[in-house]
Amino acid sequence: MTLFFQNKTNRIWCLAVAGLLIFNVWNIVSNTPMVPDQHWAQKIFYVHVPSAWVGFLSYLVVMIAGIMFFIKGDDKWDDVGLAAAEIGTLFMALVLITGPIWATPIWGKPWIWEPRLTTTLILFLIYIGYFMMRSFGGHIERIRRYAAAVGIIAFVDVPIIFVSVQFWVPEIQSHPQVEMAQQPSGILIPFLLSLGIFTILYILMMRYRIHVIRIKNMGVENV
Amino acid sequence: MFLVLLKKELYNEFRSRELILSMLVFGLSIILAYAFTSDVSRVIVANYAPGMFWAMILFVTVLGIHRSFSYEKEMDAFSMLIAAPIDRGLIYLSKWISGFIFLTVMELIVTIPFFKFLLIDFPPNPLMALGTALFINLAIMAVASLVSGVAMRARLSEVLLPVLMFPLVSPVIIAATKISGGIMAGDHYQLWQIWLLIIGSIIVIFGLVGYTLFDFITEE
């Protein structure tokens, strides 16, 4: 199996995504309007929300990969699940970092038990457990099955966690309850662009990570 | 077949009494720790009591469920159990219901010292408190039994079990604290009924997911 960057198409993909990311930063900084009362803090919204989208999308992929692994019994689905779990957790960590950065000037404190942030934190902790299990859980065949099960259980738990936290602290509604369709085009278009670029980045990261995991697995099998 | 498996679990326990006894002693130790560390006004302790109670139950559950599955590890009994021509989902159901019974027995015993040592008044409606506690126990055990099924045969299962279980069970703990807090304060049922719905949905969802997944998890 060749290395990922030995393939010309992959190199072009990588350069294109890097270009898109640079364009995205420039677009956010230069072409988006300043929101009254929030100023520069609001700019983080163009990174925070797409990161959350990619994180949850990734965890959905983990669940689908888990179901497919159980149905098909093919290890390829475990590779997909592992890659999605790693990338999802990376983006969830970004959400948990950018959220407090935005919240500190706006709410006056870095953390409140807002339903979406809390759900993200709980999911993040579940996935820390997921990686601990994968790292020192024991026999690889069993761990693949357990990992698939945890991926399914974690995603099934998401709506329950969200609803519980929402009712737990109903007075906390400080998170911007925005209807994106009602936003002026100056905000909406750069936001959608950022969302699209993050999704493309996610696809590239998934392809790369699955490739690396398969090479690693081949090495393990040949030992 | 479910009844046979349940009987096996109950017979194991009532012969050794290891599980309930260890859960009970651990629960009492936590209450003592609470008593020593919460030397503040009775009103403040009473306000925190529902959360303290369910946190204690959570810790005790981890101990109990880990022990329950550890039995199966000894002499590789679990491999023999899953080699039997039975629906493996029933193994999950038997673990769930037996765990629920053990937890409820332990809870009934430990409740009196909890209220007496922490100098808290009993809830105004004990029957309602008991009924909701049964419902909550069912939800805690639905999640705990499923997570145990995943973590049990992994290496370092005693570490993995709480790490995986605590975040997953957090909606149950939030709901349990709200329900018990409402009952302790004498609030009308309508003020906390939403939490019963959440507990009910957890029982249904985790029951179905556990029953379905157990077959795949336990595959050899």
Q: Domains in chain A: how many in total?
A: 1
Q: Domains in chain B: how many in total?
A: 1
- Residues B40-49: pLDDT tens digits? 677 788 888 9
What is residue A119's predicted lDDT score, i.e. its pLDDT? 85
Range of the domain at A94: 4-169+183-222
Closest CA to B202 of A157, A222, A25: A157
Q: Is A177 a member of any domain?
A: no
Residue with tokens 């109990």: B64
What is residue A181's predicted lDDT score, i.e. its pLDDT? 58
**Nearest residue of B to residue A168, measured between CA atoms:** B174
Alpha carbon distance A38, A48 (integer Å): 15
- Residues B53-92: pLDDT tens digits? 999 999 999 988 888 777 777 777 777 888 888 888 899 9
Alpha carbon distance B161, B151 (integer Å): 6
Q: Which residues of B touch A122 (CB under 8 A)?
A: 167, 170
Range of the domain at B168: 2-217
What is residue A221's predicted lDDT score, i.e. its pLDDT? 58
Q: Which residues of B touch A156 (CB under 8 A)?
A: 205-206, 209
Q: If contacts are CB pairs under 8 Å, which of residues 159-188 in chain A contact chain B? A: 160-161, 163-165, 167-168
**Is B46 near chain A, with CB under 8 Å?**
no
Q: Is A95 a member of any domain?
A: yes
What is the reported pTM? 0.88
In which band, very low, low, confident or very high, does the pLDDT at A223 lie, cut at 50, 70 and 90? Answer: very low
Q: Is A175 a member of any domain?
A: no
Q: Is A176 a member of any domain?
A: no
B201: pLDDT strictly greater than 80: yes
Residue with tokens 């999308």: A57
- Residues A84-100: pLDDT tens digits? 999 999 999 999 999 88
- Complex ipTM: 0.86
CA distance A177 to chain B (A): 23
Q: What is the mean pLDDT of residues B182-200?
A: 89
Alpha carbon distance A69, A159 (integer Å): 23
What SS3 state is found at B2? helix
What is residue A178's predicted lDDT score, i.e. its pLDDT? 56
Q: Is A216 a member of any domain?
A: yes
Q: Which residues of B touch A143 (CB under 8 A)?
A: 154
Q: What is the mean pLDDT of residues A61-87?
A: 94
What is residue A172's predicted lDDT score, i.e. its pLDDT? 58
**Is A113 near chain B, with CB under 8 Å?**
no
Note whether A164 contacts B174, CB cutoff 8 Å: yes
Q: Is A30 a member of any domain?
A: yes
Q: Which residues of B touch A126 (CB under 8 A)?
A: 164, 167-168
Q: Is A42 a member of any domain?
A: yes
Query: Nearest by CB to B146, which of A133, A137, A153?
Result: A153
